[in-house]
């Protein structure tokens, strides 16, 4: 098939122009395929285009949270600090899009609403929100795991008269909170980044917390030129460590159980990790924290003691203390989060024990009290992982609907998180049941993009028309994902990994917990065995 823009026929259609879609476009274009990317937003960036809230930044160290496939890109870019802020990450993505001349094959402001596999010609018919149909041999989703923002449907939403924001759809112009009373609902990763920054500007900030979090200090700092030079010189070795690791960063958990150490030794080790900062540092101190309840209790208790030491009002400190297993929700790192509750202009409201009943014209009412504010921020996260898929009517063979097949998430079945039976020539970048959100996502994205491009090349070289996951293979994969998840403490906590943040969403762990290194080996092995577990024709 050759490119024909008039007729809107492409070798591949990619949905989404974040890190995933951009690299997929580049990779396939380099191999000579015609590719069109469709993006709902007005420009490139994905997560970093939409999430412009105060304090937004990465929590994987910047030097690892970037593309690694091109030495040229790597050498021409310099990160300013350990955890780059959203504007800097967005500048980086724009730099890549310009350097690789990607925009000419991206159609912005276009939402894909449906995709149907045409069994007669073995192509996908893909529809845009403005009613156009495009045809492509390969339908590739680069939708993002965290791109479908979640806004709870409170009673009285239509009556609320103040300003309303969602962290995941932040305005492009600066929002001025100076002199204002602000309410914020949600204390997940976004809320914990935004709260200290908004508190500094607003006259008063009321934090509505449903679930307290085990956040630890980011210890952000600027990068010195010598350090960056050393990283650049050693990047090849660093990359090998990243791709073979558990979470896509060049470090590994210490091979010692917490329960073998004395309380004094554990305290010393936890203190050291706390001082160092970083997303996995505390979790990596011992190898049983994610699996053994008593081991997990020791680190959970350590973080609670830190909260007690930091927050001056004991009643507020108590409300901020989590009781679920440490590390079973997405880890969070912060800059002065707990310290913020010592400010006179910050109030914490526990909405677990006093749920929000409704929004009022001036604010909101809980079961216990009424609160007034000028602006309300929803830091209520996303319908994660499967959410963006369910916003598109995706239909495979025999008109089977993906949404029905996955039964809203409970009966999730994929093969390697890349493909799903009944949907030939459809590939998912960081799809459900892949390591995705449990990892440095740039590592996972690059691995998927390269695997998919290699697979498409294999089909071309062998004159094959379609590839489709075999039902038995996906059953075995889904079972394996479930077994690994259940070996850990992760399934014992209500988290967005489990779909628990969305009302009515069926529960089930949605990612592969075996680590990016093992996962890569499995995917490579499947490819080496001529796509074992897939049927090709
Ligand atoms: P996205 O960046 O989400 O891009 C997907 C794009 O697809 C979006 O632009 C969306 O508009 C578009 N799209 C979706 N559906 C459609 C449709 N139907 N039609 C057209 N377009 C569509 N990960 C890390 O590894 N480290 C971090 O530090 C980190 N920090 C994060 C901080 C925040 C605030 C958030 C929200 C996420 C963070 N993540 C982090 C996860 C982050 O999403 C990934 O790292 C990465 O940016 C994902 O890239 P992507 O291209 O796969 O998806």
Q: What is the pLDDT of residues 189-224, one digit of tens each?
A: 999 999 999 999 999 999 999 999 999 999 999 999
- Whether the per-residue pLDDT at 61 is higher than 60: the answer is yes
Mean pLDDT for 347-374 is: 97
Predicted confidence at residue 520, as pLDDT, reads 98
* Alpha carbons 438 and 516: distance in angstroms, whole number: 9
**365 alpha carbon – ligand 1 mean position (Å):** 33
Question: Taking CA 461 as the corner, what is the angle to CA 460 and CA 467, rounded to the nearest 5 degrees?
Answer: 50
Tokens (6 digits) for 316: 């507020």
**338 alpha carbon – ligand 1 mean position (Å):** 27
Region at 410 (left for phi over 0; alpha for psi -120 to 50; beta for the rest): alpha
Q: What pLDDT digit, counting tens, does each position of 256-285 carry?
A: 999 999 999 999 999 999 999 999 999 999
Q: Which ligand 1 atom minimizes the distance to the CA of 112?
A: 19
Predicted confidence at residue 329, as pLDDT, reads 87
**46 alpha carbon – ligand 1 mean position (Å):** 5
Predicted confidence at residue 408, as pLDDT, reads 61
Long-range contacts: 488-494, Cβ < 8 Å, 24+? 488/290, 488/291, 488/328, 488/513, 489/290, 489/291, 489/293, 489/296, 489/325, 489/327, 489/328, 490/290, 490/328, 492/324, 492/325, 492/328, 493/324, 493/325, 493/328, 493/329, 494/324
DSSP state of 505: P
Question: Taking CA 351 as the corner, what is the angle to CA 349 and CA 355, rounded to the nearest 5 degrees?
Answer: 135
Predicted confidence at residue 508, as pLDDT, reads 83
- Whether the per-residue pLDDT at 35 is higher than 80: the answer is yes
User: Among 441, 496, 497, which is best to mutate for testing ligand 1, by the most ligand atoms less than 8 A from CB?
Assistant: 441
**45 alpha carbon – ligand 1 mean position (Å):** 8
- Kindly list the protein residues whose Cβ atom lies closer than 6 A to any atom of ligand 1: 15-21, 38-41, 46-47, 49, 51, 56, 58-60, 65, 111-112, 142-147, 190, 388, 391-392, 430, 440-441, 445
**504 alpha carbon – ligand 1 mean position (Å):** 23
Q: What pLDDT digit, counting tens, does each position of 218-243 carry?
A: 999 999 999 999 999 999 999 999 99
DSSP H or E run through 427? strand 426-428
* Alpha carbons 12 and 106: distance in angstroms, whole number: 12
The residues pairing with 38 across neighbouring beta strands, listed in sequence order, are: 15, 107
Region at 63 (left for phi over 0; alpha for psi -120 to 50; beta for the rest): alpha
- Whether the per-residue pLDDT at 409 is higher than 90: the answer is no
Mean pLDDT for 369-395 is: 96
Q: Which ligand 1 atom minimizes the distance to the CA of 248?
A: 25
DSSP state of 533: T
Predicted confidence at residue 411, as pLDDT, reads 75
- Whether the per-residue pLDDT at 4 is higher than 50: the answer is no
**526 alpha carbon – ligand 1 mean position (Å):** 27
Q: What pLDDT digit, counting tens, does each position of 488-505 carry?
A: 888 888 888 888 888 888
User: Among 85, 147, 448, which is best to mutate for testing ligand 1, by the most ligand atoms less than 8 A from CB?
Assistant: 147
Nearest residue (CA) to ligand 1, atom 23: 441
Neighbour tally for 498: CB within 10 Å: 22
Nearest residue (CA) to ligand 1, atom 52: 144
**48 alpha carbon – ligand 1 mean position (Å):** 7
Nearest residue (CA) to ligand 1, atom 11: 40
Q: What pLDDT digit, counting tens, does each position of 72-91 carry?
A: 999 999 999 999 999 999 99
* SS3 category, 146: coil
**Could you tell me the CA-to-CA distances from 199 to 147, 171, 279, 339, 484 in Å, in that order?**
26, 19, 23, 11, 41
Residue 319 · residue 212 · CB < 8 Å: yes
User: Among 14, 17, 18, 57, which is best to mutate for testing ligand 1, by the most ligand atoms less than 8 A from CB?
Assistant: 18
Mean pLDDT for 472-498 is: 90
Q: Cα 105 vs. chain centroid, distance in angstroms?
A: 25
Predicted confidence at residue 241, as pLDDT, reads 97
Neighbour tally for 409: CB within 10 Å: 23
Predicted confidence at residue 493, as pLDDT, reads 83
Q: Using a pLDDT cut of 90, give the percent of the chain over it.
A: 91
- Whether the per-residue pLDDT at 323 is higher than 50: the answer is yes
Among candidate residues 219, 344, 329, 206, the one with its CA nearest the CA of residue 273: 219
- Whether the per-residue pLDDT at 312 is higher than 70: the answer is yes
pLDDT category of residue 410 using cuts at 50, 70 and 90: low
Residue 295 · residue 285 · CB < 8 Å: no
């Amino acid at each position: 098939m050759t490119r024909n823009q008039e007729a809107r026929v492409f070798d591949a259609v990619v949905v989404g122009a974040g890190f995933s879609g951009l690299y997929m476009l580049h990779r396939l274009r380099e191999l000579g395929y015609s590719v069109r990317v469709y993006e709902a937003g007005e420009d490139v960036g994905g997560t970093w285009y939409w999430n412009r809230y105060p304090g937004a930044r990465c929590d994987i160290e910047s030097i690892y949270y970037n593309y690694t496939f091109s030495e040229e890109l790597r050498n021409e870019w310099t990160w300013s600090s350990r955890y780059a802020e959203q504007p800097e990450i967005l500048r980086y993505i724009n730099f890549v899009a310009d350097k690789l001349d990607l925009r000419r094959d991206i159609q912005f402001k276009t939402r894909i609403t449906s995709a149907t596999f045409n069994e007669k010609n073995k192509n996908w018919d893909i529809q845009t929100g403005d009613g156009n149909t495009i045809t492509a041999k390969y339908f590739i989703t680069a939708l993002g795991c965290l791109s479908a923002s979640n806004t709870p449907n409170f009673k009285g939403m239509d009556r609320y008269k103040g300003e309303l924001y969602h962290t995941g759809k932040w305005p492009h112009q600066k929002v001025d909170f100076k002199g204002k009373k602000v309410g914020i609902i949600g204390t997940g990763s976004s809320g914990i980044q935004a709260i200290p920054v908004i508190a500094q500007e607003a006259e008063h900030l009321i934090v509505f917390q449903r679930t307290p979090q085990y956040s630890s200090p980011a210890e952000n700092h600027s990068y010195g030129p010598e350090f960056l030079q050393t990283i650049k010189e050693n990047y090849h070795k660093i990359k090998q460590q990243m791709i073979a690791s558990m979470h896509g960063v060049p470090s590994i958990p210490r091979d010692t159980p917490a329960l073998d150490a004395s309380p004094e030794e554990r305290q010393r080790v936890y203190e050291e990790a706390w001082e160092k900062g970083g997303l996995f540092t505390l979790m990596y101190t011992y190898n049983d924290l994610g699996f053994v309840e008593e081991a997990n209790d020791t680190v959970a208790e350590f973080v609670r003691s830190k909260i007690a030491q930091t927050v001056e009002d004991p009643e507020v400190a108590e409300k901020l203390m989590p009781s679920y297993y440490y590390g079973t929700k997405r880890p969070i790192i912060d800059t002065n989060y707990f310290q913020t509750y010592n400010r006179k202009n910050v109030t914490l409201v526990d909405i677990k024990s006093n749920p929000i009943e409704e929004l009022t014209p001036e604010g909101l009412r809980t079961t216990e009290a009424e609160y007034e504010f000028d602006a309300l921020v929803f830091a209520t996260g996303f319908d994660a992982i499967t959410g963006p898929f369910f916003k598109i009517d995706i239909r495979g063979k025999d008109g089977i609907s993906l949404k029905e097949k996955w039964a809203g998430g409970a009966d999730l079945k994929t093969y390697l998180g890349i493909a799903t039976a009944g949907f030939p020539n459809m590939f998912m970048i960081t799809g459900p049941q892949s390591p995705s959100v449990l990892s440095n996502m740039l590592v996972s994205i690059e691995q998927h993009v390269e695997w998919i491009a290699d697979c498409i090349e294999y089909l071309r070289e062998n004159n094959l028309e379609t590839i489709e996951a075999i039902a038995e293979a996906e059953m075995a994969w889904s079972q394996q994902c479930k077994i690994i998840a259940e070996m850990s403490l992760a399934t014992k906590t209500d988290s967005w990994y489990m779909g628990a943040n969305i009302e009515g969403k069926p529960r089930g762990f949605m990612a592969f917990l075996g680590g990016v290194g093992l996962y890569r080996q499995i995917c490579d092995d499947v490819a080496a065995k001529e796509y074992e577990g897939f049927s090709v024709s």
